Structure 1
Amino acid sequence: MEKLRYLKYLNLSLNMLSGKVPTGGPFGNFTDRSFVGNGELCGVSKLKLRACPTDSGPKSRKVTFWLKYVGLPIASVVVLVAFLIIIIKRRGKKKQEAPSWVQFSDGVAPRLIPYHELLSATNNFCETNLLGVGSFGSVYKGTLSDNTIAAVKVLDLQVEGALKSFDAECEVLRNVRHRNLVKIISSCSNLDFRALVLQYMPNGSLERMLYSYNYFLDLPQRLNIMIDVATAVEYLHHGYSETVVHCDLKPSNVLLDEEMVAHVNDFGIAKIFAKYKSMTQTATAGTMGYIAPEYGSEGRVSTKGDVYSYGIMLMETFTRKKPTHEMFVGGLSLRQWVDSSFPDPIMEVVDANLVARDQNNSNGNLQTCLLSIMGLGLQCSLDSPEQRLDMKEVVVRLSKIRQQYISQM
């Protein structure tokens, strides 16, 4: 692969690869984002990988053999026994005491952050640090004792359903890991307080970026963001041992990091289904305008409901019109508005800023791209769940649209 001179993009993340990452050829241009989630890889420090071990000969290999195949198993047994003893003792001490921490199984022990540190980090949950208010609580920006900037999501325990929301979010976030899902740092939980400490996203939400007059997202940026979201949802639906349904996909739940990479957030009403169980009936709520028809009429939750919400969000992202906009009254919806202009005149419904700022539309590249995007959004948001695409197909189609647009720029 070092000889592939024209290789510009490489994503090997989350493949459990091992060995040394090459440094020659195109590998000198890649960043750590190409290799995340491969714990056994080693290489240069700029890729944020562990250093590769040096092999000094047969003696070194012999020592490595004994450490790997004899020492490590023995040490693992000792640690496991000690861990079981500690658990048994703790359970015997205080069975009725509320847990102070929720453990997240990503292979790394979570940092334990006490309540008083969260108070200090957020300046006693001061309004000047308030990032936003949701259905079940508030989110604050905080600087932890190690200078890590985090988002602290504090639940309002007086709100009905807040505890269920906290449990649902913990259940999802402790089990799933993906570069396009918001990362959990820790949690703080006792009888009177519940908080999640999350990765801070300096560029805020997709909603903020779309509707702010101080920012402009061009077409490639919007495509990249929606591909990031689709990739995350594909992982939730198909890439984990059990199916996870988000249930509340919308622009305010898509957060953007310093590099404008999108991360799906807010799993407060998410559902984890046993493998191969595709649909269930539930009292799960969502957000008006993004809820699939079967949600509202029958309370049916499935992966196809997320696909519907994604389709609405995809059309919103490129029209810059919320599905709850005041123009959508009397039976007219965002989907119907787009559908009535498809395939022609589709340019009348897309965000005018995209058309005004496009400098490469002389060959119709922009219109072709937007037609494909809107067509995909319409297919995702069909009334019948069975007729909608699945997220694997959405990722493939949207990636092809991006590739075709870039190739003709």
Structure 2
Amino acid sequence: MILQYIIFGVDVIVFHADSGSDMSEPLRNWEVPQGIEMFSLDQISKATSGFSKECEVGCGGFGRVYRGNLEDGRTVAIKQASAKSKQGQREFRNEIQLLSRLHHRHLVRLLGFCQSGKNQVLVYEFMENGNLHDRLLGKYSGQLLDCYQRLAIAVAVAQGLDYLHSYAVIIHRDLKPSNILLDGNLTAKISDFGISKVSPEFDTHVSTKPAGTAGYLDPEYFLRRQLTTASDVYSFGVVLLELITGQKAIDQKRPEEFNLIEWVKPRLRNGGIRSVIDSRIAENFPEEQYLALATIALRCAAFDKSERPSIKVSLEAYIVWQLY
């Protein structure tokens, strides 16, 4: 899993504005961040044969996803936002500025952008093994993520979040398996910073309308509308539980305990780690490491944010436990 044969390409997001946005304003008097490339819309169109149906590989609430190739040979993944997008010129520039300063091995890297008429394009590195949701919880038919790959993913995500919180001073707001991408070595990288917030360095929280995904959304943030790094910690705890159990954060097939946190708590307390472990890896997994991970996961997913450890503390606690 640590072998170095990663194949990088490009992940492209295309935004279409509605008539009420300020897309028509040119990108004048704006300095392109250092190290960020400018792509033409023609390059992006050619990569997907004009966004053809044959190149489409998926779609979601954000729009459609295509696979293609740039003329220089790089493999590309293209995300085309729906026509309902209201992101204007200023927001587009801010997002480029935000993403251009994120440099960490466990964050998907912005390579460049394109702005042409009503089209706005962000260009990222390509992650050839898709997202964690499809590999862990979806209908992916390939090789199962084994117990050690899952541990490595957990640590990688923690390291990426620690960088966001401690160095970039950014709150992700929507951490979930579908926003955790996997490269050619199954190395995890956090993606999708579309609703991220820059956290004021000396403030304890940001007051904002709740945004995120059910099952991963911090309940205190939802109730009080006060966003903190602890909101990301909560989401991280849920992701850890999914890695351990192989079950979804919210599942109506668990009628009395549809929330994964409430499903895990009594079983872990009464039956130990074997009562919650994903049956697909139950025959051969390091029980003590997974028990430690489950303990950390439940602390991160505590209802009261004051009871949650920071990502740094969670990561350090797990690493220290492994060493001793």
* TM-score of the aligned structures, taking structure 1 as reference length: 0.68
Greater mean deviation of Cα atoms: 205-214 or 249-258: 205-214
Aligned pairs for 1:5-404 (under 5 A) are 97-99=25-27, 105=33, 107-108=34-35, 110-160=36-86, 166=92, 169-211=95-137, 212-240=140-168, 243-330=169-256, 332-345=258-271, 346-356=273-283, 358=284, 366-403=286-323
- Offset of 1:161 from its aligned partner? 5.7
When residues 198 and 317 of structure 1 are mapped into structure 2, their CA distance, relative to the original with a 3 A threshold, is same
Mapped partners of 2:230, 2:239: distance in 1 = 14
- Could you say which residue in structure 1 is the equivalent of 2:9? none
- Offset of 1:199 from its aligned partner? 0.7
SS of 1:355's partner is: coil
- Offset of 1:348 from its aligned partner? 1.8
* Amino acid in the other structure paired with 2:306: E
Q: Is the 8 A contact 1:182 1:199 kept in 2?
A: yes
SS of 2:262's partner is: helix
* Amino acid in the other structure paired with 1:380: C
Q: Is the 8 A contact 1:379 1:389 kept in 2?
A: yes
When residues 304 and 131 of structure 1 are mapped into structure 2, their CA distance, relative to the original with a 3 A threshold, is farther
* Amino acid in the other structure paired with 1:352: S
- Offset of 1:191 from its aligned partner? 3.6
Mapped partners of 2:73, 2:249: distance in 1 = 40
Mapped partners of 1:101, 1:329: distance in 2 = 56
- Offset of 1:342 from its aligned partner? 2.1
Q: Is the 8 A contact 2:257 2:263 kept in 1?
A: no
- Offset of 1:275 from its aligned partner? 1.1
Q: Which has the higher helix share?
A: 1
- Offset of 1:371 from its aligned partner? 1.2
- Offset of 1:131 from its aligned partner? 3.9
Greater mean deviation of Cα atoms: 379-388 or 392-401: 392-401
Greater mean deviation of Cα atoms: 336-345 or 117-126: 336-345
Mapped partners of 1:100, 1:143: distance in 2 = 29
Mapped partners of 2:53, 2:28: distance in 1 = 25
- Offset of 1:156 from its aligned partner? 2.3
- Offset of 1:150 from its aligned partner? 2.3
Where does structure 1 lack aligned partners over 5 or more consecutive residues?
1-8, 10-29, 34-95, 405-409
Q: 1:37-65 CA distances to partner (integer Å, 9 max, x unpaired)?
A: xxxxxxxxxxxxxxxxxxxxxxxxxxxxx
Greater mean deviation of Cα atoms: 387-396 or 344-353: 344-353
Q: Is the 8 A contact 2:245 2:276 kept in 1?
A: yes
When residues 327 and 226 of structure 1 are mapped into structure 2, their CA distance, relative to the original with a 3 A threshold, is same
Mapped partners of 1:398, 1:128: distance in 2 = 45
SS of 1:314's partner is: helix
* TM-score of the aligned structures, taking structure 2 as reference length: 0.84
- Offset of 1:295 from its aligned partner? 2.4
SS of 2:78's partner is: strand
When residues 300 and 330 of structure 1 are mapped into structure 2, their CA distance, relative to the original with a 3 A threshold, is farther
Q: 1:123-172 CA distances to partner (integer Å, 9 max, x unpaired)?
A: 11123323443433333222111111122232224245687875664342
CA RMSD after TM alignment: 2.7
Tell me the matched-pair count: 303
Q: Is the 8 A contact 2:69 2:76 kept in 1?
A: yes
When residues 313 and 263 of structure 1 are mapped into structure 2, their CA distance, relative to the original with a 3 A threshold, is same
- Offset of 1:284 from its aligned partner? 4.0
- Could you say which residue in structure 2 is the equivalent of 1:41? none
* Amino acid in the other structure paired with 1:383: F
Mapped partners of 1:101, 1:330: distance in 2 = 57
- State percent identity of aligned pairs: 29
SS of 1:288's partner is: coil
- Offset of 1:190 from its aligned partner? 3.4
Greater mean deviation of Cα atoms: 157-166 or 244-253: 157-166
Mapped partners of 1:230, 1:295: distance in 2 = 20
